Amino acid sequence: MEEKRTSKQCGGVLPFFIGVLASLIIGWWVFPQVIYSQKTQPVDFSHKVHVEGEGMDCESCHTFMEDGSFAGLPSNEKCAECHEDMLGETKAEEVYVTEYLQKGVEVPWLVYQYQPDNVYFSHMAHQGFECTDCHPDVGNSNTLPTYYENRISGYSKQTMKMWQCERCHAEVGTSNACYVCHK
């Protein structure tokens, strides 16, 4: 009798639902804020300036080797084809030319979709997909998205998880055998 009276005093099962609600709020709103740190790219690169302004396309800088392997992000050598000296007056270009190009330091770009080292991924094998199926749509943007780094795993928030690879493979009928992605 005593216990029943106490429950009534605290609003019956209300505390339980408050706990559930608080947990949902923490889990869906606070937790994501806590688990990711935010980082900005070392150079404020504008894809739009290059795509719209200079008429370049993705393949102008993000190229494939003859054997089909992705050539990686463009290096200083590639950028220097145009930016050996300042072309414009933007602060971003000045930072790039003076802090990286002239000092011979490659820009430590933060890559949104780096996979773990034990994953083999061929861009050439995924040519039929749009770049934006996996990558942020930065082609028409003046700014680069904020990079969210998982404080526990160290990977980008946008790094594709294995279940996503497997689901897509299953949907398009590609094998999900281990060795397809893990060499």
Per CB under 8 A, does 33 bind other proteins? Answer: no
User: Which stretch, 22-30, 48-56, 126-134, 167-175, contacts other proteins (CB under 8 A)?
Assistant: 22-30
Residue from 1, 55, 59, 77 touching other proteins (CB under 8 A): that is 77
User: Which stretch, 92-100, 108-116, 125-133, 168-176, contacts other proteins (CB under 8 A)?
Assistant: 108-116
Strands (E) located in 27-182: 36-39, 147-150
Amino acid in position 75: S
Which pair of structure tokens corresponds to residue 20?
A: 């559930």
CB 115 within 8 A of CB 160: yes
Residue from 6, 55, 172, 177 touching other proteins (CB under 8 A): that is 6
CB of 19 or CB of 88, closer to other proteins: 19
- Residue located via tokens 């904020």: 146
CB 73 within 8 A of CB 109: yes
Smallest separation (angstroms) from other proteins to the CB of 35: 7
Which pair of structure tokens corresponds to residue 157?
A: 């928030």
CA atoms within 13 A on the CB side of 72: 9
CB 121 within 8 A of CB 163: no
Per CB under 8 A, does 164 bind other proteins? Answer: no
Amino acid in position 115: Q
Site for other proteins in 118-147 (CB under 8 A): 118
Q: Which residues bind other proteins (CB under 8 A)?
A: 3, 6-7, 9-11, 13, 15-24, 26-28, 31-32, 35, 65-67, 69-75, 77-78, 106, 111, 114, 116-118, 150, 152-155, 161
